[in-house]
Amino acid sequence: MKPTTYNTALYLRLSRDDELQGESNSISTQRMMLRKYAEQNHFTIVDEYIDDGFSGTNFVEVR
């Protein structure tokens, strides 16, 4: 039986510890882990959203 395929988007968010290092290691690690999870669970990634530079301590969202 063919597994069900789902469409999904990835949401990657900055770790405060990596905030000052450009695109953070945290973002790269999250991307790798989420892509692996999606592949293992037959999710088709249709988009990716990244908040790199906006931690949970920012109260004003700038986009």
- Structural domain spans, the chain: 6-51
37 falls in which pLDDT band (50, 70, 90)? very high
Instruction: Determine the pLDDT at residue 21.
Output: 57
Instruction: Determine the pLDDT at residue 14.
Output: 78
pTM of the model: 0.66
Q: Write the pLDDT tens digit of every residue in 1-30.
A: 777 889 999 999 876 655 555 555 788 889
Instruction: Determine the pLDDT at residue 25.
Output: 72
Sequential DSSP letters for the chain = -PPP-EEEEEEEE--GGGTTSSS-HHHHHHHHHHHHHHHHTTEEEEEEEEETT--TT--S---
